[in-house]
Amino acid sequence: MSSRKLPPGFREEVLDSDTEEYFVNMGPQHPSTHGALRLALRLDGETIVEVVPHFGYIHRGIEKQAESMNYLQYIMLSDRQDYLTAIQNNWGICLAFEKGLGIGVPERGEFIRVMLAELGRIASHLVFYACFGGDLGGQTALLFGFKEREMIHDILDEVTGSRLTTNFFRPGGSVHDIPDTFIPRVTSFLEHLEKSMVDYERFLSKNIIVLERTKGIGILSKEDAIAYGCSGPVLRASGVSYDVRKNDPYGIYDQLDFDVPITYRGDTYDRYVVRIAEIHESIKILRQCIKLFPEGPYRSKEKPSIRLNPGSYYSATETAKGLYATYVVAASGDKPYRIHTRGPSFANLAALNNMARGHKISDLVSILSTIDPVIPEIDR
């Protein structure tokens, strides 16, 4: 048995079954691998014995490109990592640069950042809701989730000039101030969203088939979640209360009142519940920001080219997917010596085999969907 030649990536493992296993390539062209991800499946009938994720199909060498770009140009590349949380990536990069420059952000600038980031978080979680529903077989949920997300993108479009790849924040603030229509638009959008979330939750959260499909499936224990370096909703669904916004606050998150939703079973349903609860927390944060939104400058200082003081700088932010950390090594000159990004999807995806083992193909699809990976961020 052990002398058998396995495809690359699989562990040698003796099974006590008489049946013949077989191997299926899921992806890179597959409707539910969320991009160019390839999963090599080792199947016993329909039961998954082992999953090996292979990635690198859309590797663009972003970190290497950064070394030949100046600091401001790199902000554009952060959009191209996790495109669903582009605005939060911008923030993470800018935080590291601000540390290197030794500058802060004016209060209005901080509020703009928080509000846009939370809108981005809602948009990302709505995409999760859509894909999760779609992956379970409910095509209607797919369209529902994208409907409200489009409204967020309309707002982002007005503010940043771009729907998806925002490229909006700069060290010390943002490119330009927000338009006057921003606050009224967000206010009316939040009212609309709260109404539609009631319907959306009724559509999936209490559907008996969804509950049967998700409860007790793909359990990731607390210890495993920590060991794999998971973060974000995947970690919090397993019962670890860790949110960078609370544990290591950046921006003005320490002044805002919000909760970190956590659940304890760590199954597919819990990961879904955590994300839905986070949408509500984001609505809460946005409401507070609208109430407190100050006047004043939006950017601390403008300089045509920025040069970081030599040294290494680290910033950690909580995007919708989890811990997004940037490590910048600055030498003299206007280009970084090295920039490394720690993306959340990469670590979360590593736990896939642990979660999916022993379940059916259908469950693998829903488990992968609750990891909510964005492949360009894994490959970079």
Residue numbers at the binding site for other proteins (CB under 8 A): 22, 24, 30-32, 46, 133-141, 143-144, 147, 204, 207, 209-210, 212-213, 360-363, 365
> Using CA of residue 103, residue 104, residue 109, residue 113, what is the dihedral sign?
positive
Cα separation values, 190 from 152, 155, 202, 225, 281, Å: 10, 12, 18, 33, 12
Cα separation values, 157 from 38, 164, 166, 186, 192, Å: 33, 8, 8, 13, 19
**Shortest distance, CB of residue 54 to other proteins, whole angstroms?**
17
DSSP β-bridge partners for residue 315: 326
Question: Which one, 51 or 141, has the nearer CB to other proteins?
Answer: 141
Question: Which one, 133 or 261, has the nearer CB to other proteins?
Answer: 133
Distance of CA 346 to the CA centre of its chain: 10
The identity of residue 54, as a single letter, is: H
Residues with Cβ < 8 Å from 53, sequence gap 6 or more? Answer: 37, 38, 39, 40, 349, 350, 352, 353
Question: Which one, 204 or 234, has the nearer CB to other proteins?
Answer: 204
**Shortest distance, CB of residue 3 to other proteins, whole angstroms?**
24
- Give the separation between CA 44 and CA 60, rounded to whole angstroms: 36
**Shortest distance, CB of residue 135 to other proteins, whole angstroms?**
5
DSSP β-bridge partners for residue 52: 40
**Shortest distance, CB of residue 244 to other proteins, whole angstroms?**
32
> From start to end of 268-355, where are the E strands?
311-318, 323-330, 336-342
Question: Which one, 96 or 130, has the nearer CB to other proteins?
Answer: 130
Question: Which one, 66 or 217, has the nearer CB to other proteins?
Answer: 217
Question: Which one, 194 or 212, has the nearer CB to other proteins?
Answer: 212
Question: Which one, 35 or 138, has the nearer CB to other proteins?
Answer: 138
Here the tokens at position 182 are 């921003």
Question: Which one, 91 or 200, has the nearer CB to other proteins?
Answer: 200
Quickly list H helices, 62-178.
62-66, 71-79, 86-101, 107-136, 139-160
Question: Which one, 57 or 293, has the nearer CB to other proteins?
Answer: 57
**Shortest distance, CB of residue 109 to other proteins, whole angstroms?**
36
**Shortest distance, CB of residue 70 to other proteins, whole angstroms?**
43
> Using CA of residue 366, residue 367, residue 370, residue 376, what is the dihedral sign?
negative
Cα separation values, 33 from 39, 216, 293, Å: 8, 22, 40
In which element (H, E) is residue 272 found?
helix 268-292
**Shortest distance, CB of residue 60 to other proteins, whole angstroms?**
26
**Shortest distance, CB of residue 33 to other proteins, whole angstroms?**
10
**Shortest distance, CB of residue 126 to other proteins, whole angstroms?**
14
